[in-house]
Amino acid sequence: MVSNKHMYVQFVDDTKGVTLASVSTHGMDGRQSVATAGRLGKSAAQCAIGAGIKCVVVDRGGHKFHGRVKAIVESAREAGLLTGIKEEK
CATH number of the structural domain spanning residue 76? 3.30.420.100
Of 22 and 64, the structure prediction assigns the larger pLDDT to 22
25 found inside a domain: yes
49 found inside a domain: yes
Ranked by mean pLDDT, the top range of 7-21, 27-41, 61-75 is: 7-21
Question: Under 8 Å CB-to-CB from 82, ≥6 apart: which residues?
Answer: 54, 55, 56
The confidence score (pLDDT) of residue 89 equals 53
**How many domains does one find in the chain?**
1
16 found inside a domain: yes
Q: Residue 77's domain spans which residues?
A: 8-85
pTM, 2 dp? 0.84
2 found inside a domain: no
1 found inside a domain: no
21 found inside a domain: yes
